Structure 1
Amino acid sequence: MPKVADYVLQRLGEWGVHRIYGYPGDGINGFLGALDRADGDPELIQPRHEEMGAFMAGAHAKFTGELGCCIATSGGGAIHLLNGLYDAKLDHQPVVAIVGQQKRFSLGAAFQQEIDPTVLFTDVSEFVQTCMHPAQARQLVDRACKVALSNRTVATIVFPVDVQEEDAQPSPPRTHGAVYTSVGWTRPRVIPPDTELAKAAEILNEGSKVAMLVGQGAAEAQDEVVAAAELLGAGVAKTLLGREVLPDDLPYVTGPIGLLGSTASYELMKDADTLFMIGTSFPYAEWLPEEGQAKAVEIDIDGRMIGVRYPVQANLVGDSRDTLTALLPLLRRKEDRSWREKIEKEVEQWWRVLDDRAHEPADPVNPQLVAYELSSRLPEDAIVTTDSGSATNWWAQYLRLGRGMRASLAGTLATMGAGTPYAIGAKFAYPDRPVIALVGDGAFQMNGMAELVTVKRYLDRLTAQNPTLVFCVLNNQDLNQVTWEQRAESGDPKFMGTQWIPDVPYTEFAKLLGFEGIKVDDPADLGAAWDRALAANGPCVLEVVTDPEIPPVPPHIKKELGKKSAMAMMKGDPEEAGVITKGAKQKLHEFTESVKDAMPGRNK
């Protein structure tokens, strides 16, 4: 007779869940036995830590659009899931978490590993329930999957150990209170009313300087976004989560926006008279047009998020692709292309600035050069992940993604430690595609190194179809992003007691596991090192010793940021001389390229 745990796994399989990320513990013993009996469907992928399993489940959802699933034991194991689940929640990814609990009759006795998972998971989960009877399992699994998919969020089911081991009851007894549910869900077609579409078209048609901002909500509307941009003569900026929406070889794509953004995106927003936001909740209003400067149109499938970032005159609550399809016939092509020409000029200049900055001398290697050298070598079907930290800046600015390439990170939560498990989750989902992670040494020390053991365990699975799995570690012995934030946001100098981290032989660790290990401390060797890493016949750790004094220069230095950075230097920053000199040189390239553009005879 199948047990409740067997039935739950079978039901999850009917929902399309064939891989579960999790770590064993006696609080899920019933599920461990059921996984053994399931004969690999669903299969358990064992990371080194439950948090990493939750990240991998979220990455699976991000890169496939399917349900992600993770599992953890009671007590500490359940608690470990939270960070990865919050990442999925805040980036709107459908993930179902299965959590163990002590036996029903011991609850309330302050028993070992007894926590209150309902309270613990209520904020991170839109649906959280405890299975108290075998006949309840069917409807809980079905509802959890429906909620996760419908609302693109996290759902959690808690299973006491004794319930896991009871005989399954796939069909509840026919009595008052019984609930009968089914497997199945379809994505709704959501479009705004015609009156709102007409209002949006009027605003967009009247605008002469249209700026578009796209996020991950526009990921399935690439062709429609391009069509709208062409009709409106608009420039298109991309949020970090929207990096893969449009390829960077389109001349009007201005790239990232915000502190990690481009000068082209800054100029786009500074001069726009119309703002068109599609599938984004970009939070930093100071990088959007000033209030009252631009009329705005916004598309978002979640009506709760319409008009919460910028005052909007046309509120298009709907799916990005379907809404754009309905809107496009109402848009008129702008014959005056002077705005578009200005944008394209700004984009050309930005790429030249990046080239100049990347080749600025450093001690020993300029971290910008690492991403610059990768960019021209990206395989056409690459998946590229990154971690939170200064590495995010270079990932956002330097990688010229082509059509069909995928890229993501922990966007809204911006937590450290997601880059490596994201890459592993992506490789499990797409073992036939090359996967590259660009991470800082802080994040890699935090949890990335341990997850190389996971790669070792599943080596054949991950590399049989395509061997390319590269973890590029920027080794600067500094928690670099926070160091720069201390300077620019708090006016404090770098404090070595918190910011310095020890040097670790990442390359040698990779070799201990039987992987390719490459260390670079000379910029002249970097291009060849990338060639070798991408051609490796298996996982590779590419360690680059980078200069912590190369600043992540914002596209526009706000007065307050500049003032506080100067204060930090005056207080005796240990890297004062290098920071001032290298920062000035980095910023100077913007002015140099502007002057070149203004010179007569400049090739446009």
Structure 2
Amino acid sequence: MTETVGDYLLSRLRDWGVEQVFAYPGDGINGLVAAFGKADNQPRFVQARHEEMAAFSAVGYAKFSGAVGVCMATSGPGAIHLLNGLYDAKLDHVPVVAIVGQTARTAMGGSYQQEVELQALYRDVANEYCIEVNVAEQLPNALDRAFRVAQASRTPTALIIPADLQEAPYEPPQHAFKQMPSSPPGTAWPNPVPPEPAITEAADVLNAGERVAILVGQGARRAAAEVREVADLTGAGVAKALLGKDVLADDLSYVTGAIGLLGTRPSYEMMRDCDTLLIVGSNFPYSQFLPEYGQARAVQIDLDGRFIGMRYPTEVNLVGDAAATLRALLPKLNRTENRSWREKIEKNVADWWTTMDQQAAVDAKPVNPMRIVHELSKQIPDNAMVTADSGSSTNWYARNLRIRDGVRTTLSGTLATMGPAVPYAIGAKFAHPDRPAIALVGDGAMQMNGLAELITIARYQGLWTDPRCVVCVFHNNDLNQVTWELRAMGGAPKFEESQSLPDVDYAGFARSVGLEGINVEDPRDLASAWETAFAADRPTVLDVRCDAEVPPIPPHATFEQMKSVTESVLKGDPEAFHLMFQGAKTKLQEFLPGRSR
């Protein structure tokens, strides 16, 4: 049988070690779909319910595996639907290859059905590499470069293949003028280290500091041991950007937790009072949560020189691999004998966790959303993978979830799009089918697309050696994050028509598609619900009815934000009395550490 372009494409994907392609079919990729059939579904065609979810699953797979995620869609609308997931990959620096169909070459330019100028459409999201393949001989080089650029630049790339070419006979490139060969997959990536003088200069800055703070992001994930050593020598505390939440465990006494609008009080206070700042693998954008300009001398380490020295006026910029650079730096650091700064940070952290425990125990109607994550922290498996969606539930994930060594976490950190938590979890399960996955999802995101992807989970659960995939829904019938933003930033009361959601039985839907579903309306049932979910022999949906009026306002909220909330209530917020009462009860716990209620 003649090998087609589609057949060769799948063969080359196997050479790249691709085991699954997250996709949705359409006639613009019929030649590729037929090739999957002839190849006995190797790599596996994982059918999402929507192309956007296929892209999110590829992003989740890439985030948790460290390998390139692959997604595929048909021409026109299918290619358009991939875009949000691909932008999520671009902004979080995740390697994803998108393979999309296109109108047959014979019809191009003729306003044919589903003809969209895909190269123009993808020019921004796949700006590092986007190519349309128009002859078979072009394919190996184009596909290999898509993978190599995605890996090297940690970015999405795109391969556009017209429908008629997919079914054409494959011809390899010739040793001829204007034909491009390609070497087989396999690249050894370097671990670059900055020059010795720059390392020495950075050490001098850190050694001179008396109150050192460290900020880590996802780029420090493979440098956790080195970060701990630097923190030990300098007596520093370590704050974490959201994408770096799993870099260090929260049971380390000097780890202050998340930073920023969703951050903790210890992180805020450490940045407010430090005299030296070390940033490792983070492009945290909110400079108002970093030290005041001129307050601290700063050093930054990042693998990508394009994103260095742009968030804070750093004195020394080290472009290199985080772990390798820190290993070169460590022998030049002096141990700080005065540990008063570290002791202050440790006391603030201990007090903070006491406050979090107390806030989670505050009564609410019916369940305090903080308690959902509080109970999860007690029972989370040591090798769990946690995905968080965008919304008010992200606050509780950021502040209340205590990470232990071995737990991996992620979310849409930069795009902050709604809807990725469930498809992320699907991608995570394909990356590590022997590990449990947990998705923390608001009911808005669940209605947007999470419900449909429960069908995908039900379909593929049999492939996972560990069947546990727990989707926890924060069920408050409100688009809660925007509701609070209206109150805190605009001084406007909740607008019911835009903010209220239809009531849905998420656990009931889960049971209808063959998953386990647990409804929780009493906080006393939360612990046993998590226990049941982690003991289940199938994926589970926890449908927890929680209070929409527990304020996600950060502990370092400004006077203007608090004033705006008060003004919004006075303007006639529908939950005015309950909102103020719940907010006062919650905020009070910050001033009564250790007191029982």
Shorter-chain TM band? over 0.9
1:548-574 CA deviation, whole Å, 9 max, x = no partner? 000112020113222322221221111
Paired residue type of 2:589: H
Aligned residues: 593
How far, CA to CA, are the matches of 2:570 and 2:299 in structure 1?
45
How far, CA to CA, are the matches of 1:475 and 1:574 in structure 2?
18
> Under a length normalisation based on structure 2, what TM-score does the superposition of the two structures give?
0.98
How far, CA to CA, are the matches of 2:262 and 2:392 in structure 1?
9
Q: Contact 2:102 / 2:161 at 8 angstroms: preserved in 1?
A: yes
How far, CA to CA, are the matches of 2:80 and 2:592 in structure 1?
52
Aligned to 1:123: 124
Residue 14 (str. 1) matches residue 15 (str. 2): yes
Aligned to 1:177: 178
How far, CA to CA, are the matches of 1:378 and 1:572 in structure 2?
41
Aligned to 2:311: 309
Aligned to 2:533: 533
How far, CA to CA, are the matches of 1:594 and 1:523 in structure 2?
21
Aligned to 2:421: 419
SS, match of residue 591 in structure 1: coil
Query: In the TM superposition, what is the alpha-carbon distance from 1:302 to its structure 2 partner?
Result: 1.0
Paired residue type of 1:245: V
Query: In the TM superposition, what is the alpha-carbon distance from 1:186 to its structure 2 partner?
Result: 1.9
- Residues 430-439 or 557-566, more deviating: 557-566
Aligned to 1:434: 436
SS, match of residue 220 in structure 1: helix
Residue 99 (str. 1) matches residue 100 (str. 2): yes
Aligned to 1:453: 455
- With over 3 angstroms needed to count, the CA separation of the structure-2 counterparts of 1:276 and 1:595, relative to structure 1, is farther
Aligned to 1:349: 351
How far, CA to CA, are the matches of 2:174 and 2:268 in structure 1?
63
Aligned to 2:138: 136
How far, CA to CA, are the matches of 2:81 and 2:401 in structure 1?
33
Counterparts of 1:355-434 in structure 2, within 5 Å, are 355-434=357-436
Aligned to 2:320: 318
Q: Contact 1:61 / 1:94 at 8 angstroms: preserved in 2?
A: yes
Paired residue type of 2:327: T
Query: In the TM superposition, what is the alpha-carbon distance from 1:459 to its structure 2 partner?
Result: 2.3
How far, CA to CA, are the matches of 1:173 and 1:523 in structure 2?
68
Residue 88 (str. 1) matches residue 72 (str. 2): no
Paired residue type of 1:564: S
Q: Contact 2:461 / 2:467 at 8 angstroms: preserved in 1?
A: no
How far, CA to CA, are the matches of 1:564 and 1:187 in structure 2?
51
How far, CA to CA, are the matches of 1:296 and 1:579 in structure 2?
41
Q: Contact 1:16 / 1:67 at 8 angstroms: preserved in 2?
A: no
Residue 209 (str. 1) matches residue 211 (str. 2): yes
Q: Contact 1:474 / 1:543 at 8 angstroms: preserved in 2?
A: yes
Aligned to 1:257: 259
1:256-277 CA deviation, whole Å, 9 max, x = no partner? 1111111111111110001110
Paired residue type of 2:447: Q
How far, CA to CA, are the matches of 2:588 and 2:207 in structure 1?
38
Query: In the TM superposition, what is the alpha-carbon distance from 1:174 to its structure 2 partner?
Result: 2.6
Aligned to 2:574: 574
- Residues 453-462 or 343-352, more deviating: 453-462
Paired residue type of 1:97: A
Query: In the TM superposition, what is the alpha-carbon distance from 1:590 to its structure 2 partner?
Result: 1.4
Aligned to 2:71: 70
Aligned to 1:497: 497
SS, match of residue 219 in structure 1: helix
SS, match of residue 299 in structure 1: strand
Query: In the TM superposition, what is the alpha-carbon distance from 1:595 to its structure 2 partner?
Result: 9.9
Aligned to 2:543: 543
SS, match of residue 169 in structure 1: coil
Q: Contact 2:354 / 2:594 at 8 angstroms: preserved in 1?
A: no
> Under a length normalisation based on structure 1, what TM-score does the superposition of the two structures give?
0.97
How far, CA to CA, are the matches of 2:206 and 2:560 in structure 1?
34
How far, CA to CA, are the matches of 1:555 and 1:194 in structure 2?
42
Paired residue type of 2:394: T
SS, match of residue 222 in structure 1: helix
SS, match of residue 519 in structure 2: strand
Q: Contact 2:383 / 2:435 at 8 angstroms: preserved in 1?
A: yes
How far, CA to CA, are the matches of 1:180 and 1:357 in structure 2?
62
Aligned to 1:468: 468
Paired residue type of 1:565: V
How far, CA to CA, are the matches of 2:9 and 2:141 in structure 1?
10
Q: Contact 1:16 / 1:66 at 8 angstroms: preserved in 2?
A: no
Q: Contact 1:24 / 1:32 at 8 angstroms: preserved in 2?
A: yes
How far, CA to CA, are the matches of 2:71 and 2:152 in structure 1?
19
SS, match of residue 438 in structure 1: strand
Residue 44 (str. 1) matches residue 45 (str. 2): yes
Q: Contact 2:212 / 2:235 at 8 angstroms: preserved in 1?
A: yes
1:277-336 CA deviation, whole Å, 9 max, x = no partner? 000011111111111111110001111111111110000111101110111111111000
- Residues 128-137 or 423-432, more deviating: 423-432
Aligned to 1:599: none
Q: Spell out structure 1 runs of 4+ moving beyond 2 A.
A: 593-596
Query: In the TM superposition, what is the alpha-carbon distance from 1:40 to its structure 2 partner?
Result: 2.8
CA RMSD of aligned residues (A): 1.2
Aligned to 2:35: 34
Query: In the TM superposition, what is the alpha-carbon distance from 1:594 to its structure 2 partner?
Result: 9.2
1:119-178 CA deviation, whole Å, 9 max, x = no partner? 1111110210100110000110011111000000011000001111111112x1232111
Paired residue type of 2:167: E
- Residues 581-590 or 521-530, more deviating: 581-590
SS, match of residue 197 in structure 1: helix
Query: In the TM superposition, what is the alpha-carbon distance from 1:398 to its structure 2 partner?
Result: 1.3
1:33-52 CA deviation, whole Å, 9 max, x = no partner? 11111223211100100100
How far, CA to CA, are the matches of 1:546 and 1:187 in structure 2?
47
Structure 2 unaligned blocks of 5 or more: none
Residue 559 (str. 1) matches residue 559 (str. 2): yes
How far, CA to CA, are the matches of 2:302 and 2:13 in structure 1?
30
Aligned to 1:600: none
How far, CA to CA, are the matches of 2:7 and 2:438 in structure 1?
36
How far, CA to CA, are the matches of 1:527 and 1:44 in structure 2?
37
How far, CA to CA, are the matches of 2:268 and 2:46 in structure 1?
43
Residue 226 (str. 1) matches residue 246 (str. 2): no
Paired residue type of 2:233: L
How far, CA to CA, are the matches of 2:211 and 2:84 in structure 1?
41
Paired residue type of 2:175: R
Query: In the TM superposition, what is the alpha-carbon distance from 1:593 to its structure 2 partner?
Result: 2.2
1:77-103 CA deviation, whole Å, 9 max, x = no partner? 000000111111111111000000011
Decide which of 157, 160, 174 is 1:158's aligned counterpart: 160
1:372-412 CA deviation, whole Å, 9 max, x = no partner? 01110001111111100011111111111111111111111
How far, CA to CA, are the matches of 1:513 and 1:416 in structure 2?
23
Q: Contact 1:553 / 1:587 at 8 angstroms: preserved in 2?
A: no
1:477-507 CA deviation, whole Å, 9 max, x = no partner? 0000111111111111111010000110111
SS, match of residue 589 in structure 2: helix
SS, match of residue 335 in structure 2: coil
Percent of residue pairs identical: 54
SS, match of residue 190 in structure 2: coil
